[in-house]
Amino acid sequence: MPPLKVPPATGERVPIGFAEVDDVVLAHPDAHAWFTRLLGKPARLVWLDDPRRCAVPAAHGGLPGDVVHLAGDAPVLLTSRSSLRRLDEWISEGAAERGEDPPAPLDMARFRPNLVIDGAPPYAEDAWRELRIGPLTFRVTEHCDRCAATTYDPVTFAGGKEPLRTLARHRRWDGKTWFGIRLVPRGRGELRLGDPVTVLA
């Protein structure tokens, strides 16, 4: 399918049922048609006309001036490959205890991260409060609690019990299961694959 040059969002305002804003702006009808063809079902593209309208909730570590667009509870989600490897080990150990064959390693896409790092010890990120990746500094707002969306394979969409079953055994507190950390950038800049990661606090 050819790329789409999306015209400016000049459509009407429509209500949405999530995030911290009441309404968004509809994109051009050409954008709706393109996404409808791509997905094979009716779809519309919407815009948040002013990102300052959607703040990081204070209950999720937001401070005045922190904005999140329509992403959820923070603008950036970071996960660690070493943490995922340890989770895969726990899952395999649990399968062995139940007399089952070890499953294939999980795809990191299940956790929908923006940033994936490697080289730190498993779950070292739990203790971080501030870090620098390449030229950018980030404040950690909170750990990321995981929902049932992680139990679906991102390629086949097949559902299962993992990783929540194993996270509930090894990484459950406050009535939730946890994997990854949420971040707010301090400023703007460009990140590149392979940028060094430095823990500041």
3-state SS, one letter per residue, for 105-145: CCCHHHHCCCEEECCCCCCHHHHCCEEEECCEEEEEEEEEE
CATH number of the domain residue 180 falls in: 2.40.33
Residues 188 and 80: beta-carbon distance below 8 Å: no
Q: What does the pLDDT look like over 66-97, one tens digit per residue?
A: 888 777 788 999 999 999 999 999 999 999 99
Q: What is the pLDDT of residue 197?
A: 97
| Interatomic CA distance for residues 100 and 115, integer angstroms | 33
Mean pLDDT of the residues in the chain: 90
Domain that holds residue 136: 55-199
One domain, residues 102 and 41: no
pTM for this predicted structure: 0.83
Q: What is the pLDDT of residue 99?
A: 97
**Residue 120 pLDDT > 60:** yes
One domain, residues 46 and 132: no
One domain, residues 39 and 67: no
Query: What is the residue type of 123?
Result: Y
One domain, residues 147 and 169: yes
